[in-house]
Amino acid sequence: MTVFAIVNARLLDPASDHDGPGSVLIEDGRIADVARGTAAAPSGVETLDADGLCLAPGLIDIRVRTGEPGAEPKETLKSAALAAAAGGVTTLVVQPDTDPAIDDPAMIDFIQRRGAALGLVNIRAAGAATKALGGERMAEIGLMDEAGALYFTDGDRVIRNSRTLMRVMSYATAFNALIACRPADPWLAEGAVAASGELATRLGLSGVPAVAERIGLERDLALVEQTGVRFLVDQISTEGALGTLARARSRGLEVAASVSINHLCFNEVDIGDYRTFCRLDPPLRPESDRQALIEAVRDGLIDVITSAHAPAPAEDKRRPFAQAAPGAVGLETLLPAVLSLHHEHGLDLLEVLRPLTQGPAALLGLDAGALSPGAPADLVLFDPSAPVVIDADALRSKSKNTPFDGRRLQGRIRTTWVGGRQVFGHG
């Protein structure tokens, strides 16, 4: 039985709204005790002096694409797990758009057994909502739920058939399962690679109007109201959709929302001269949308921040902008990127950490995301002010497609523990 204490830390626990000095006693992979203030560690226990650095629950990233199985040169579960550990992410949820798709209980079992065998971070899976992500036939939601799927989604693909989506939602209510959908009108969004507006026109890029997201969300929420399903708005990105979300919440619908870190840190201008590392889906939006998303995080309207980790090798990115693969890696840069909301926009540390810890844990029913006795000792120790310069070539992901390459941020991870085991250490 392993027992040790982390002392002289600044404890950041969004679940209890605590930000202050303290120490944590870890016993057999779980938090045995949390002492607030300057109390001494129990005698005879191995101690780690945090030297005033921040100690928080490990981050939970609910939207991670990998290449395994089917496209391992992009990313394997091991390379994703190594990147996650270096980024302070202790739990990641793999998206179902693998090859084959994660659309049956055997695939859920494969991902979770493979993840456990790596012995790094907690790896869980989201199941497909429809067979082979085709949008027509409902997948085996009940069996995948029993196998451990945390939620159900077709990822970046919109389920165009409203009848199919209603059936998926109705069936999911029997298991109290969570359904996640990207809000988009598929006809308005088809073929678009940028946000509609002056910039897209000047660059000669096909644009999608912001109203496409609101139209798609209005349809999804009407079906949520009809079926009573638990629902996640996946990667909200426009101010108009935020208004629709707020109105749905005011009507008592059980609706949560996530946003990618990319849409909190970049806007459409970052495309620059066809910078394909900023080719994302949904596309980067105007600055007014970015500011609205930041305020929604501050106000608690957005429940979850994700890395939207989507690896793509150089040959898929170094193409004309419209032909480049969308997406960016983000597991390793997630924490310093989200800390920019604290340093540059005045959100306090608990506000920026909540949608990375308590928020996703509560949404998915995970026994994690808090500094409390009995919780798993999934922890991250970091220096929130230490300067870092993102170097894409140094990232642990197999693919290096990050829009943060060369960006100066603040926030360096010192140590990551999963179940009381150190899985990453810096310095």
Same fold, 3-55+376-425 and 58-364: no
pLDDT of 172 reads 97
Question: What average pLDDT does the segment 225-242 reach?
Answer: 98
- Using alpha carbons only, give the angle 135, 139, 142 rounded to the nearest 5 degrees: 145
The answer to whether residues 31 and 22 touch, using CB atoms and an 8 Å cutoff, is no
Query: What are the boundaries of each domain within the chain?
Result: 3-55+376-425, 58-364
Cα 378 → chain centroid: 16
What is the per-residue pLDDT across 8-35, written as a single tens digit (0 to 9) for each? 999 999 999 999 999 999 999 999 999 9
Arithmetic mean of pLDDT, 327-337: 98
Residues 172-189: tens digit of each pLDDT: 999 999 999 999 999 999
Q: Which residues sit opposite 127 in a β-bridge?
A: 152
Q: Which residues is 305 bridged to in the sheet?
A: 259
Tokens representing 381? 């120790």
- Residue 43 confidence (pLDDT) above 80: no
Residue position matching structure tokens 């990313």: 75
Distance CA 395, CA 83 (A): 7
Q: How confident is residue 44, by pLDDT bands cut at 50, 70 and 90?
A: confident
Lookup result for tokens 């909540």: 354
pLDDT higher than threshold 90 for residue 83: yes
Phi, psi of 189 (to 5 degrees): -90, -15
CATH 3.40.50.2300 applies to domain 3-55+376-425: no
Cβ of 22: how many Cβ atoms within 10 Å?
A: 23
CA-to-CA separations, 420 to 57, 121, 138, 151, 236, in angstroms, rounded: 12, 11, 39, 27, 34
Q: What is the three-class DSSP state of 82?
A: helix
* Amino acid at position 28, single letter: D
Q: Which residues contact 408 (CB under 8 A, 6 or more apart)?
A: 387, 388, 389
337 touches 265 (CB < 8 A): yes
CATH of 58-364, one of 3.40.640.10, 3.90.199.10, 3.40.50.980, 3.20.20.140: 3.20.20.140
Closest by CA to 275, choosing from 407, 396, 411, 410, is 407
Q: Which amino acid is at 305?
A: I
Q: Do 256 and 224 touch, CB atoms closer than 8 A?
A: no
Q: Which pLDDT does position 40 carry in this prediction?
A: 67
Q: In what order do the strands lie in the sheet with 59-64?
A: 59-64, 89-94, 122-125
| Amino acid letter for position 373 | P
Q: pLDDT-derived band of residue 1, with 50, 70 and 90 as boundaries?
A: low
Nearest CA to 37 out of 65, 3, 9 is that of: 9
Strand order in the sheet with 127-128: 127-128, 152-153, 178-181, 230-233, 255-260, 304-306
- Amino acid letter, residue 307: S
Please report, to the nearest 10 degrees, the dihedral formed by the alpha carbons of residues 404, 409, 410, 411 taken in order.
10
User: pLDDT by residue (tens digit) across 360-405?
Assistant: 999 999 999 999 999 999 999 999 999 999 999 999 999 999 999 9
Q: Is the dihedral of CA 194, 333, 80, 372 positive or negative?
A: negative
